[in-house]
Chains A and B, each alone.
Chain A
Amino acid sequence: MPNLEHPAYPAATLLHLESLVPCRESQVSMLLSIFGERQQFTFPSIFIYGHTSSGKTYVMQTLLNTLELPHVFVNCVEYFTSRLLLEEILIQLQSCCSETEQTSHVPCDTFNDFVRLFKQAVLSRELQDQTLYIVLDRAEQLREMEANILPAFLRLQELTDRNVTVVLLSEIVWELFRPNIGCFEPFTLYFPDYSIGHLQKILSQNHPPEYSADFYAAYINILLGVFYMVCRDLKELQHLAALNFSKYCEPVVRGEANERDTRKLWKNIEPHLKKAMQTVYLREISSSQWERLQCDNGEPGQLKGLSAHTHVELPYYSKFLLIAAYLASYNPVRTDKRFFLKHHGKIRKTNFMKKHEKTSNHLLGPKPFPLDRLLAILYSIVDNRVAPTANIFSQITSLVTLQLLSMVGHNDQLDGPRYKCTVSLDFIRAIARTVNFDIIKYLYDFL
């Protein structure tokens, strides 16, 4: 592990810095060597990219704060227009450069004004030619602002003729930022993702004091075993670790097992973690609901996630309308004759059907259909006679409002309204089961 060393900063500060940034020592030492001494120039712009929660923001903030380098830190999602962004930078500059507490609001509309005000602000004696760092977090938002903002920030050192470096932090790679006519290329630095060893090390640091470090490390191992294949995001894993630890400790608390009884602890926690993957991980239920569930030692069947709320009890004809709409969306038109007429005769496989057999309609998505076809299919699948009353039509409209059907095309179309069915196969099978209708028999893809 490289020991951080730099002639410009005292060794004690560097040691403290090293303790704050586990598993990121090589990145910090590279940044330190690039920054150089306080008055020295460095790259006019630096672009740091890496996965979310790989420590970019944390390391930059810790580095700049610990070494007390003059800096301005702005999040581009929080200040999402150019005006907000530039004004915030100027406000932070005031508090960074001078010792006075008050900061007056300076209106700054354009980048031209910004350069002028920036040059004035930096002239104060506090800085004494030290490099000023402007850190823009979530820099991918800069692409959404005016076209001159990103290239101008990359050249800020040249435009203002001062010792300033702009650091951009983002998840997206630089190639997707580059403007068409080119710009001043920044120095790109990659923050690698944490390996499984690093994740274990960092997660194990948060162990609560009542239990031993080994016990917690074994828990983290189990947690990573279940979740590592799906998610390597440190923040998510920290959240899951914190939520589920009390459940893991339950056998020990209840006295059924001691800390070393790994098999019992594993058997206790494993189904719980699998359940967590389907619910808390997907944000189907909130963390507080999850904790309540653990306390009640609850029956997992009672769990009502967010997607459960989409199951709505529909009236009888609405169910058939929905089934008819599903059939109309996913069956090609020429097969209607075969499914819905009593005497249909043989259907000859034409060239068209042979060529397109591979791509089933279930992969391509629902197709739009006219209202007449919907009603025709409806009359054939419902046993008793259905009259085309306003009742039926209003049920169609309420299905559209529930977003189970969606209207395609403009409201005042001359041919009549066209719809498409936006429910999934599992949903429609559940509905069909409640009315004892075997929908699979009527679907072309399942022939």
Chain B
Amino acid sequence: MSKRKSKESSGANGECISQVQKILRERFCHRCATGKLFGIEHQYRHLLELLKRTIVHGESNSALIIGPRGSGKTALLNHVLKELTEMKQVRENLLEVHLNGLLQTNDKVALKEITRQLHLENVVGDKVFGSFAENLAFLLEALRKGDRTSSCPVLFILDEFDLFVHHKNQTLLYNLFDISQSAQTPVTVIGLTCRQDILELLEKRVKSRFSHRQIYLTNSFDFKQYIRIFKEQLSLPAGFPDESFAQKWNKNVQHLSEDKTVQDMLQNLFRHTKDLRSLHSLLMLAVSNVTVHHPLITASDLHEASKQSRMDSKANIVHGLSVLEICLIIAMKHLNDVYEGEPFNFQMVYNEFQKFIQRKAHCMYNFEKPVVMKAFEHLLQLELVRPIERPSVRAQREYLLMKLLLDNNQIMDALQAYPNCPTDVKQWAASSLSWL
């Protein structure tokens, strides 16, 4: 009977684990509008009011949502839209146009996209317009048709707003802000951007038509709230099918959030970056380890995930270099020390290397110059060394000036970790006077 019971419980566990993974992965990887908002109630209310005024009262408006990457601008907007579409009046009336600076790289493409999203391709047909403004006015006029006295309110959402600023003459922005001021059609323009200096980038005529309404998202929670967020993000929701497992899971999460080591690790992450995106990335990695044999997340999972995300990538690359390439890096380090960071060329590096070989090395064979050159070019290919000017046909390769993109601490740390490093090489690296 116990076997049957365990089989039942393991079967349930398999299904259950799959459900857990599904829910948590959607929460962390797929941006879900059902996630909770943390600490931005004020901004939420502001934006909601603004949009309500447009839709219900027919006011035209413009606003910018400004915040660093990962601070929740898109999430905020999606929440507000979700709440609005629950009102029947909004659902039937509102037209949304979503533009993204990464996709619509110039104004012509943007205009076509607006036409497409408003479903007006047939209406526009093959018409040719004299200017952008004419085209936009025609589109908005077309929305009026169909026995309405006033047209539907249109909501323009511009993601990566700072990229639209680089278009020629900022035509799209000028026209959008213009119609939002002229009160013919209720139009609201909401821009989302990560640049704090966005207003400096706008042209004078565009800036004057903008309402200067800015909503700032600043990740303004402190560490205690951060731990609470951690706990809430990792917990299973109330409607989870397997109640007992959900309870066990949530209790485990509570226990983790009180564990000192986990708190230290979170403190480390919090000091480095406050945004929730990195937290999600870490939690996703920890959750991916959850299997039937390992149904609850442990503190070591979190530590592993944290270590994985904090690896120094350049040190990893140096770990895989051959001994000859390591010697070249040490020669460059010495050149940097002696000449205080002035650029060097291959001939100087080779000279240093020769000095080392002749004086101290017992294990290194004296390689020929072309072999050393090939090793040097491998370092160039990995972009650990970068030329200062573009290589030209006229200049010889050996005399091209370069600089090293690693600093001394990175080099010394990488050498500690390097497997089977010959002792001569290690001592040469550590010696500070290169002519001894």
Contacts and interface: CB of A to CB of B under 8 A. Distances in A.
A283 B157 CA distance: 57
Contacts of B395: 365
Interface in B262-313: 277-278, 281, 284-285, 288-289, 291-292, 309, 311, 313
A33 B289 contact: yes
B102 A171 contact: no
Interface in B340-382: 345, 347-348, 351, 364-365, 367-368, 370-371, 374-375, 381-382
Interface residues of B, number: 67
B396 A422 contact: yes
A175 B407 CA distance: 15
Contact of A187 (B109, B281, B292, B374): B281
B419 interface: yes
A173 interface: yes
Interface stretch (A41-49, A262-270, A320-328): A41-49
A181 to B, nearest CB: 7
B90 interface: no
A141 to B, nearest CB: 13
Nearest to B113: A112
A190 B313 contact: yes
B142 interface: no
B69 A111 contact: no
A418 interface: no
Interface stretch (B23-31, B42-50, B79-87, B168-176): B23-31
A259 interface: no
Contact of A174 (B30, B289, B313): B313
Nearest to A173: B313
A40 B22 contact: yes
Contacts of B194: 181-182
Contacts of B277: 184-185
Contact of A229 (B309, B364, B370): B364
A229 B323 contact: yes
Contacts of B256: none
A41 B28 CA distance: 9
Interface residues of A, number: 67
B121 to A, nearest CB: 13
Nearest to A229: B323
Interface in A392-428: 406-408, 422
A356 B45 CA distance: 70
A192 B319 CA distance: 8
Given A36-B288, A185-B278, A281-B371, A157 B30 contact: yes
Given A36-B288, A229-B322, A365-B347, A190 B316 contact: yes
A87 interface: no
A148 B347 contact: no
Interface in A96-128: 110-112, 115
Contacts of A364: 345, 347, 399
A37 interface: yes
Contacts of A192: 316, 319-320
A34 interface: yes
A188 interface: yes
A356 to B, nearest CB: 13
A231 interface: yes
B365 A7 contact: no
A84 interface: no
Contacts of B109: 110, 112
Contacts, number: 161
Contacts of A148: 101-103, 105, 163
Interface string B305-338: 0000101011011011111100000000000000
A155 interface: yes
B114 to A, nearest CB: 12
B203 interface: no
Given A159-B100, A159-B102, A363 B345 contact: yes
A182 B289 CA distance: 29
B313 A230 contact: no
B394 interface: yes
Interface string A331-367: 0000000000000000000000000000000111110
B420 interface: yes
Contacts of B367: 230
Contact of B322 (A54, A159, A188, A232): A232
B333 to A, nearest CB: 17
A172 interface: yes
Contact of B382 (A172, A184, A185, A229): A172
A422 B395 CA distance: 8
Nearest to A277: B371
B322 A42 contact: no
B21 A37 contact: yes
Question: Which of B29, B347, B351 has the most chain A CB within a 10 Å cutoff?
Answer: B29
Interface string A135-157: 00000000000101001100101
A34 B348 CA distance: 46
A50 B375 contact: no
Query: Lowest 7 CB-CB distances: which A-B pairs, in order?
Result: A193-B320, A365-B399, A173-B313, A112-B103, A41-B29, A51-B320, A229-B323
24 contacts: A33-B289, A33-B291, A37-B18, A40-B25, A41-B29, A44-B29, A44-B30, A54-B320, A163-B30, A182-B69, A185-B278, A187-B284, A192-B316, A278-B368, A278-B370, A307-B370, A362-B347, A364-B399, A365-B345, A365-B395, A365-B396, A365-B398, A366-B396, A422-B396
Given A49-B317, A152-B102, A158-B31, 12 more contacts: A7-B14, A7-B17, A40-B21, A51-B317, A148-B163, A182-B69, A185-B281, A188-B309, A228-B323, A366-B396, A406-B394, A422-B396
Interface of B: 14, 17-18, 21-22, 25-26, 29-31, 69, 74, 100-105, 109, 113, 162-163, 194-195, 277-278, 281, 284-285, 288-289, 291-292, 309, 311, 313-314, 316-317, 319-324, 345, 347-348, 351, 364-365, 367-368, 370-371, 374-375, 381-383, 394-396, 398-399, 419-420
